[in-house]
Amino acid sequence: MSAPVTQVVAHPLTGTADHPVDARTGEPFDTRSYSLMKHGDLPAMHRLADEVADALLAECPWLATEPRPVILPVAYLVAPPACRYLADRVAARLTQVRTEAARVIHVRKDAVTHIDYAASSEQDRRNDLSRIGFRLTEPVRDAVAVVVDDVRVTGLAEQVMLDLLQEAGIGHIVTAYVAACDPALAADPSVEAALNHAAVRTVHDMIPSVRRGDFVPTIRFLKRLLADPRAAGFLTRCPTELVQRFRADAEATGPDFLAGYPAGTAALFAESDRRSNATEGVAT
């Protein structure tokens, strides 16, 4: 028997790709915060994660007293997606009201795509997902899974996670989204890209977050950085720790990933080596 699935959405969206509106309140959706969140702005992540947590606790108050383990599975290879940081924050909020802590668990992907998922057609997304393997890193039988994600458009990524959890014997699934598009909005293939790029048109738009110390690396940002012809200019404005984190994540993702971004990889490695040599020079 399949486990029950409950959906919670902080912001059900209607309107158009350029002007999405919260269907509950009639207010314009905060696309600026959403775009910043997707690219690693920590305050935006926390703000939107808190809205998801508020919706969860309002619509699923039983999570506070649920005796079964509550887990928050997130799929990635090395560099985390934005929803990993959302899940961390939501888990902390759930833990505040529970006897037993809610935990984020890693669902390991065996590859990272080079396509821009948000700008791809539904068929391209389907083809891409079919080429990627997903593996749970620990047992989840009879647990309650809260699957936190940023936006639901086609539901393809959601279905992959749900199938994996159902096959592993999960007890209950709650999908928890920052936003979900109504059918008319979801039919517009530009909607997800419009949301992602509402405030962050290039990687350079994240420099203020980096300078404030409010930036955390995501796989989306890493791919955009390596694909940007001006990556070298951005990297010169980053602290050394962040440059080396970008390199470590890129190398750990694998040679096939690096091969897809030859110019960006060269720029990243050159800046990383320059920082390392400068540090060695100071030490000697």
* Contact by Cβ (8 Å): 170, 141: yes
Return the pLDDT at 120: 58
pLDDT in tens, 64-102: 999 999 999 999 999 999 999 999 999 999 999 999 999
For residue 118, what pLDDT band results from cuts at 50, 70 and 90? low
10 versus 277: which is more confidently predicted? 10
pLDDT of residue 247: 99
Domain 5-196 of CATH type 3.40.50.2020: yes
Q: How confident is the model at residue 126, as a pLDDT?
A: 65
CATH 3.40.50.2020 residue spans of the chain: 5-196
The average pLDDT across 28-32 equals 98
Tokens of 222: 């890493």
User: What pLDDT is stored for residue 82 in this prediction?
Assistant: 98
Q: Is the pLDDT of residue 282 over 60?
A: no
Q: What is the pTM of this model?
A: 0.92
Contacts of 251 (CB under 8 A, 6+ apart): 258
> Helices H, strands E: what count in the chain?
13, 7
pLDDT tens digit sequence for 131-168: 788 899 999 999 999 999 999 998 888 999 999 999 99
What's the rounded mean pLDDT across residues 96-121?
A: 83
Residue 279: pLDDT band with limits 50, 70, 90:
confident
Q: Report which residue type is found at 88.
A: D
Q: Provide the angle, in degrees to the nearest 10, between the axes of the packed helices 82-97 and 31-38.
A: 110
- Cα–Cα distance between 200 and 255 in angstroms, integer? 28
- The span from the CA of 192 to the CA of 174, in Å, is 22
Q: What is the mean pLDDT of residues 237-260?
A: 97
Q: Rounded to whole angstroms, how far apart are CA atoms 37 and 44?
A: 5
| Mean pLDDT for the chain overall | 94
pLDDT per residue as tens digits for the range 35-69: 999 999 999 999 999 999 999 999 999 999 999 99
Q: What percent of the chain has pLDDT over 90?
A: 86
